[in-house]
Amino acid sequence: MGILCILIPILIGLICALLGYLLGRLIEKRSEVYTRLRADLDACRQENQQLQSENRSLESELAGLSKKPGSRPLNADDASAKVDDASADVELASAKTDTPPVPFDAALAKSAFGKKIVENDLKIVEGIGPGIEGLLRNAGINTWKALSETSVEKCQKILDDAGSRYRIHTPATWPMQAEMAFLGKWKELKKWQDEAIGGKEKI
């Protein structure tokens, strides 16, 4: 009986110590998980801010780019119009074209890109994949011509409305690329895409 009186407190003490140790480890592990998740969240927020900053910088740089060959420079009235520079460029170039657009030449397109090109395939534009093509078509933009006449702001709104997965894309050059495809300028389009970085012009 005397031995039991000694052993029982010892066993209870050992059990309490073990439970305390396990509880401490559990709390420590949860703290580590929380810290790691917090760090991941902060990194995502920082990356989002950086992407937004890059987007604003690219829009600013685009506004200062010289216009494409063949289009007339913008005058004071044009500059005051509330139209995106890239889409205004497309409209001016189209308005100054005396001859109708070149009919789609599948052979010429294939010779430039090295693969079969389907007419009005929006994915030929650098930066547009199947998902974004679906968004554009749902918005009524089904042809290269339609995309070339769509403002960058409208393209961005379509992406923004589709959620964060698409919001990070930059459509600044999509109308310009679509116009090249619409006018059959396949070699020029391929050359531009080869020299571009992720659908963005090298500055």
SS3 of residue 69 by DSSP? coil
Q: What was the pLDDT predicted at 56?
A: 77
Choose between 93 and 101: higher pLDDT: 101
pLDDT at residue number 201:
56
3-state class of 197 per DSSP?
Answer: strand
* Percent of the chain with pLDDT strictly greater than 70: 76
For the entire predicted model, the pTM comes to 0.50
Amino acid 143: pLDDT: 96
Domain ranges in the chain are 1-64, 68-195
pLDDT value of residue 46? 77
Q: What is the pLDDT of residues 23-47, one digit of tens each?
A: 888 887 777 777 887 787 777 777 8
Greatest extent of the chain over all pairs of C-alpha atoms, in Å: 113
DSSP 47: H
Beta bridge partners of 200: 197
Question: Which residues have C-beta within 8 Å of that of residue 40, sequence separation ≥ 6?
Answer: none
pLDDT tens, 77-96?
Answer: 544 444 455 444 445 444 44
Dihedral over Cα of 39, 156, 67, 186: its sign: positive
How far apart CA 34 and CA 32 sit, in angstroms, is 5
Over residues 101-118, mean pLDDT: 91
Report yes or no: 150 and 87 within 8 Å, Cβ to Cβ. Answer: yes
**pLDDT tens-place string over residues 153-193:** 999 999 999 999 999 999 999 999 999 999 999 999 999 99
**Residues in a beta bridge with 197:** 200
